[in-house]
Amino acid sequence: MRFADLLRFAGGGLRGHRLRTFLSLLGVGIGVASVILLTSLGEGARRYITGEFASLGSNLLIVVPGKTETAGFAPLVSTAPHDLTQNDAQALSLRVPALRRVAPLVVGTAAVRAGERSREVTVVGTTREMLEIRHLKMSIGRFLPGGQPDAAVCVLGARVQRELFPDENPLGKLVRIGDWRFRVTGVIAPRGTSIGMDLDEVVEIPVDTSLRLFNRSSLFRILAEVGSHDEIERARRRVIEVLRERHAGQEDVTVLTQDAVLSTFNQILGALTAALAGIAAVSLGVAGLGIMNVMLVSVSERTGEIGLLKAVGVTQAQVVAVFLVEAAILATAGGCLGLLSGLGAGQLLQQFYPEFPFQPPAWGIPAALSVSCLVGLIFGILPARNAARLNPVTALMRRKA
Amino acid sequence: MIQLAGLDRTYVVGGSPVLALRNVHLTIDPGEYVSIMGPSGSGKSTLLHILGCLDRPTAGSYRFAGEETAGLTEAQLSRLRRHQIGFVFQFFHLVPRLTAAGNVELPMIFAGIDPGERAQRVRQALEVVGLTPRAGHRPDQLSGGEQQRVAIARSVVMNPALLLADEPTGNLDSGSGREIVGLIEGMNQRGLTLIVVTHDPRIGERARRRIQLSDGLVVSDQTSP
């Protein structure tokens, strides 16, 4: 028997009972659509996080005070870590040639006031290098001045500017941060959240000024950009070496590379996607039962036809093939339906959340289609065998084919 | 072509065995026109099903074209039915979603004959039964007589050696019945072995050889000169 004829005959069988066919199509469709949609969510989250990290700059090292043990025992004797200081940052930029730029980071919160308006913001103390390291763009004015001035100047995040100076150009205006007055030199272009810090909601000031403002001597972080991606690991070891030397031989800093953080996130979110796919697969299984039910009804309804097929010399294997192919067509067509509606729903959600990349993982589409076809084949086995095992004599006793 | 020897067929109904056929001996030669008659329950349909390889005897031997059928597998029996045996049923057994032409084509689809040849043979078969203008109609658009003519076209489209008809006129008015009998007798005149099961003596008496069954036993076997 030719495969095209088999497909045509099985397809004809499905057209015989349109409503039932449509309902079981719908069942598989919903299953596949939910697989597509949920994996799109998971994959979207992964892409979103990855994209966020990429916006940090791809060759970034982050120096954090304190040693984070990722393996083995916690040390019995806790050694208080040395603070990270301005001098540490300077030493790194001088002694580690692989670092192209180094920026210290101080973070605090303070009330910012302009005239009658006031709000609480995150104040970031840093240097001019930050502009390049974090790929910031200015919408107006200039970023912080170069060198390490202790100057009363500040740069506003986009939303801070909107709220404090809704109708006027803030350049050259004075704002009050805590008890001190600062002159606005620029506004950062809107950028949105980047790794937990909404850059539109910050005010940036020179690092020395921030240390005095918050009455501190130590840095929160040191950010450094490595010249080329291949040098990251070497630069990381060198940074630790320099800082150990400076911290009386103690290795009391942790240097995060973007790769390490990224691969951790990748793993977590990959697992999340797989878990979501698993949940959605349950609905595919239920749809499979629906197909089995429809096929069982179809077999008992078409007893006469099956008897006739046997009388004209159709073999048991061919009867099995006819009903299996019917189930597979049903499931695969449902799969296509679900694929389209799943992708469509993703597009729709995309309209509402333009920043979030709804997109199924590369394996999602072929997997959804092959799994739905497989579901049809597996849940079609029982009905097909029932059909093949019908006794032709009793099957033909029915009045109708 | 057909040799039955000591053939029994026993059913188990409600725990007790029922003998549908008892010790049947029968030889039918190629080209014969045989009617099998008897009251309902006499075993004539059972005999037809065994002759058509849809059912197997409980005991005894059935040789088709010299070959013992007891040793054949399901698939071999299917092939035998496909190429050697055509069936005509009381209730036509047409597939309702297929057109007349589609129903005639059905056995050839599963035999793997290519579409060009199928179309040609469908056309010939429908022409023989006089249904060429109705080729595109579905069974529910055809009269009973027309449906049975489609079924006959289907039964002979694979060029079988044996045509089995089970009460072929049982569901038709007498006019259509006469046409149907005329058609299948025409097939017999062209060399097809024809076996008709009927309880209608007017149909049965037309056959040259008439076999009477009663309670599963062959009670008479007459051949007109």
The answer to whether residue B62 is domain-embedded is: no
Q: Give average pLDDT by consecutive 10-residue segment, chain A, 401 residues.
A: 88 83 86 85 82 71 75 51 86 89 92 89 91 86 82 90 88 91 91 66 91 90 85 88 87 81 80 84 83 88 91 93 92 90 87 80 82 88 92 77 42
A21 within 8 A of A14, measured Cβ to Cβ: yes
Q: Which of A12, A312, A396 sits opposite B107 (nearest CB)?
A: A312
Chosen domain end from A220, A251, A282: A251
Residues of chain A found within 8 Å of residue B98, distances taken between Cβ atoms? 12
**Residue A235 domain flag:** yes
Q: Are residues A99 and A139 in the same domain?
A: yes
CB-based contact, B54 to chain A, within 8 Å: yes
Does one domain contain both A239 and A272? no
Count CB neighbours of B164 within 10 A. 26
Contact A158, A187 (CB under 8 A): yes
Residues A21 and A92 in one domain: no
Overall number of domains in chain B: 1
Question: For the packed helices A316-352 and A3-15, what is the interaxial angle rounded to 10 degrees?
Answer: 70
What's the pLDDT score for residue A194? Answer: 56
Range of the domain at A158: 82-251
**Gap from B196 CA to chain A (nearest CA, Å):** 16
Do A1 and B94 count as a contact with CB atoms less than 8 A apart?
no
| pLDDT of the residue at A358 | 79
Interchain CB distance below 8 Å, A1 and B158: no
Residue A270 sits in the same domain as residue A244 = no
Strand partners, A205: A125
Is some CB atom of chain B closer than 8 A to the CB atom of A397?
no
Q: Given this model, what pLDDT does residue A111 score? A: 92
**B95: domain range?**
32-44+73-223
Q: Are residues A145 and A270 both part of a single domain?
A: no
Please report the pLDDT score of residue B197 as a whole number: 94
CATH number, residue B160: 3.40.50.300
A66 in any annotated domain: no
Q: Is residue B211 part of a domain?
A: yes
Residue A92, CA atoms < 13 Å, CB-side half-sphere: 32
A246 and A123 inside one domain: yes
> Cβ contact (<8 Å) for A313 and B96?
no
The answer to the question of residue B22 being in a domain is no
Could you report the per-residue pLDDT of B117-161, keeping only the tens digit for each? 999 999 999 999 999 999 999 999 999 999 999 999 999 999 999
If you average pLDDT over residues B199-208, what whole number do you get? 91
Is B67 a member of any domain?
no
**A251, A271, A305 — which closes off a domain?**
A251
From the list A3, A27, A29, A4, the residue with the least C-alpha distance to A295 is: A27
Q: Does the residue B51 lie in any domain?
A: no
Cα A315 off chain centre by: 52
pLDDT number for residue A400: 47
- Measure the CA–CA gap between B82 and B159, rounded to whole angstroms: 9
Same domain, yes or no, for A43 and A18? yes
Q: Which tokens go with A154?
A: 């500040």
A37 with A175, same domain: the answer is no
Q: What is the sign, positive or negative, of the torsion defined by CA atoms of A162, A166, A169, A174?
A: negative
Which H, E and C letters describe chain A, residue by residue?
A: CCHHHHHHHHHHHHHCCHHHHHHHHHHHHHHHHHHHHHHHHHHHHHHHHHHHHHHCCCCEEEEEECCCCCCCCCCCCCCCCCCCCHHHHHHHHHHCCCEEEEEEEEEEEEEEEECCEEEEEEEEEECCHHHHHCCCCEEEECCCCCCCCCCCEEEECHHHHHHHCCCCCCCCCEEEECCEEEEEEEEECCCCEECCEEHHHEEEEEHHHHHHHCCCCCCCEEEEEECCHHHHHHHHHHHHHHHHHHCCCCCCEEEEEHHHHHHHHHHHHHHHHHHHHHHHHHHHHHHHHHHHHHHHHHHHHCHHHHHHHHHCCCCHHHHHHHHHHHHHHHHHHHHHHHHHHHHHHHHHHHHHCCCCCCCCCCCHHHHHHHHHHHHHHHHHHHHHHHHHHCCHHHHHHCCCC
Asked, for residue A39, whether it belongs to a domain, the answer is: yes
Query: Is residue A238 located within the same domain as residue A336?
Result: no
Could you give the number of structural domains in chain A?
A: 2
The tally of CA atoms less than 13 A away on the side-chain side of residue A357 is 13
Q: What is the pLDDT of residue A401?
A: 42
User: Same domain for A218 and A358?
Assistant: no
Q: Say yes or no: A208 and A275 in one domain.
A: no
What does the pLDDT read at residue A283?
A: 80
Pair A282, A389 in one domain: yes
Contact criterion met (CB < 8 Å) for B87 and A311 = yes
Q: Is residue A364 part of a domain?
A: yes
* Cβ–Cβ gap A318/B110 under 8 Å: yes
Measure CA of the first residue to CA of the last residue in chain B; give whole Å.
21
The answer to whether the CB of B142 falls within 8 A of the CB of B92 is no
What is the pLDDT, as a whole number, of residue A347?
A: 86
Tell me, what's the pLDDT at A72? 47
Shortest CB distance from A393 goes to which of B54, B94, B115? B54
Domain assignment of residue A71, yes or no: no
Interface check for B81 against chain A (CB to CB < 8 A): the answer is yes
For residue A123, CA distances in Å to A112, A119, A181, A224 come to 9, 12, 14, 20
Helix (H) or strand (E) holding B95, with range, is: none
CA distance A309 to chain B (A): 8
The answer to whether residue B75 neighbours chain A at the CB level (below 8 Å) is: yes
Contact B78/A315, CB-based, under 8 Å? yes
Residue B143 included in any domain: yes
> What's the half-sphere exposure (Cβ side, CA atoms, 13 Å) at A290?
22
A326 falls within a domain: yes
Q: Which own/partner contact pairs does A68-77 have at CB distance under 8 Å and 24+ positions apart? A: A68/A254
Residue A60 lies in a domain: no
User: Residue A288 falls within a domain, yes or no?
Assistant: yes
Residue type, A285: G
- Both tokens of B171, joined, read 């569901």
